[in-house]
Amino acid sequence: MKRLLLSLSLLLFANQICAEQALPSDSVYQAQITLVDQSGQQWRWNEQRGHVQIVSMFYTSCTMVCPMIVDTMKFTAQKVSSAKRDRLHLLLVSFDPATDSVAVLRDYAQQRKLPAPQWTLARTVQLADTRQVSALLGLQYRQLPDGEFNHSSELILLDAQGRIVARSDVIGRVDMEFVQAAERTLADD
C-alpha cells in the first residue's frame, strides 16, 4: 500500500514536471506572479494557461483612456464570431494595486458590466509584481505625484500557452486584424 502511494505520488510529481517542461520558453507564464481578482480569489498567473486571453492593464480611478480600453476590449470580444467565443477570456490587471482593492475591482466590474467568468479584473498581490506584469506584456507605466498614471494602452492576445501572438494599440474602435488573430488562435487551440 505504501509502495502504491509512493509510486502514485511519484507519478503525480512526474506529471507535474512534464506539464512544466511543456510550457514554452517564450510564455509569459514562466514568471511566478500571484494575482487576486474581483471575487477575492488568489491564483497564480500561470493558472490562466489553457485559455486564450485578451489582456490589458488599467486602473479604476482613471477617467481618460482606461474606460476606452475596457470598451475596446468588450467590442473586440463581441466581434469574435467563432463558436469558441465563450472560451475567450478577458483579463485586466491594475497598474495601481495600492488603490485597486478587491472591493474596488468588484464595484468597477459591476458598474461597467464586466461579468465573470469571461472578465477577470485583478491586481498583483505583491506590489512590486505589477512592474513584472507590465514588463512581461511590454506595457509602460509611470505613477505621477498626484496619484495618476501615465501608461501605454494596448490589447495583447495570449494563446493558451501564454505566448503573445498579437497586440494592438488601436483604442476607441475595433481592430479587425486583432479580431482575426483572436479567431485564428481560438481555432488552433
Partner 1 sequence: MRRLVALVGLLGCFEAMAADYAPLPVTRFHSVLPADGKAAPASIAAFSMRTEPVTNAEFLAFVIAHPAWRRGNVPTVLADGSYLAHWEESLTLGREALPAQPVTQVSWFAAQAFCESEQARLPSWYEWEYAAAADAKRADARSDAAWRQRVLDWYGRPASSSLATVGGEANVYGVRDLNGLVWEWVDDFNALLVSSDSRDQGDGDKAKFCGAGALTFQQKENYATLMRVAMLSALKASDTTRSLGFRCVRNL
Site for partner 1 in 1-30 (CB under 8 A): 23-28, 30
In the chain, the amino acid numbered 81 is S
CB of 143 to partner 1, least distance (A): 8
Site for partner 1 in 140-159 (CB under 8 A): 140-142, 144-146, 148-154
The answer to whether 160 contacts partner 1 (rule: CB under 8 A) is: no
The answer to whether 102 contacts partner 1 (rule: CB under 8 A) is: no
User: Cell match 479604476: residue?
Assistant: 60
Q: Residue 110: name the closest of 35, 125, 102 by CA.
A: 102
Cα angle 54-56-57, degrees, rounded to a multiple of 5: 160
The answer to whether 171 contacts partner 1 (rule: CB under 8 A) is: yes
Q: Which residues is 139 bridged to in the sheet?
A: none
Number of residues forming the site for partner 1 (CB under 8 A): 41
Count of other CB atoms within 10 angstroms of residue 56: 24
Q: What would the x/- binding string for partner 1 be over residues 103 to 132, using CB under 8 A?
A: -------------------------x--xx
Q: Are the CB atoms for 89 and 116 separated by under 8 Å?
A: no
Complex with partner 1: residue 115 or 145, whichever CB lies closer: 145
**Tally of CA atoms within 13 A in the half-sphere of 141 that contains its CB:** 26
Residues of this chain that bind partner 1 (CB under 8 A): 23-28, 30-31, 58, 62, 64-66, 68-69, 128, 131-132, 134-136, 138-142, 144-146, 148-154, 169-173
